């Protein structure tokens, strides 16, 4: 897989998840201050011009931190990154959304 990320940004969380799951991936550095995310080659991959972006082994592109994290967790159940019951999973998503969507932005 290919992870498009900026070190020190929220995308580092996806990098940590990929490492935690011991998955093979290549990290592509997107330099936000110099505007890498607004360049046509990156917009062709993620028209929202945000990071993180994960290009999966089948070539499909997944964006949005929570969606990527959820997909990684569900795709690798033996790692037990999600509790697996509706309430537990909702609590994980609740915490993740607060950290990525609120705390991170501040
Ligand atoms: N909704 C996105 C937000 C992620 C986000 O805020 N990424 C920032 C870097 S930490 C970004 O892509 N910034 C690009 C920009 O500001 O144009 C997600 O959950 O993945």
49 part of a folded domain:
yes
64 part of a folded domain:
yes
Tell me the Cα Rg of the chain. Answer: 14
98 part of a folded domain:
no
What is the 11 CA–ligand 1 centroid distance (Å)? 8
The structural domain count of the chain equals: 1
93 part of a folded domain:
no
95 part of a folded domain:
no
What is the 50 CA–ligand 1 centroid distance (Å)? 5
- Strand residues in 21-83 grouped as ranges (E): 26-29, 53-55, 61-63
89 part of a folded domain:
no
36 part of a folded domain:
yes
88 part of a folded domain:
no
pLDDT tens digit sequence for 62-71: 999 999 999 9
Q: What is the largest CA-CA distance in the chain?
A: 43
Query: Does the C-beta of 100 come closer than 6 Å to ligand 1?
Result: yes
pLDDT of residue 7: 94
- The half-sphere exposure of 21 on its side-chain side, counting CA atoms within 13 A, is 23
pLDDT of residue 92: 96
99, with CB counted inside 10 A (0-12, 13-18, 19+), is middle
The pLDDT of residue 98 is above 90: yes
Q: Which CATH number do you get for residue 46?
A: 3.40.30.10
The residue segments making up the domain with residue 36 are 2-80
Packed helices 86-97 and 65-75: angle between N→C axes, nearest 10 degrees: 150
């Amino acid at each position: 897989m290919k992870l498009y990320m900026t070190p020190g940004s929220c995308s580092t969380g996806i990098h940590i998840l990929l490492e935690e799951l011991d998955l093979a991936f290549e990290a592509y550095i997107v330099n936000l201050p110099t505007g890498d995310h607004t360049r046509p080659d990156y917009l062709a991959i993620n028209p929202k011009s945000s990071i993180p972006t994960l290009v999966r082994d089948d070539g499909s592109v997944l964006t949005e931190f929570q969606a990527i994290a959820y997909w990684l967790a569900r795709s690798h159940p033996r790692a037990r990154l999600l509790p697996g019951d509706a309430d537990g999973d909702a609590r994980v998503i609740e915490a993740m959304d607060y950290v990525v969507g609120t705390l991170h932005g501040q």
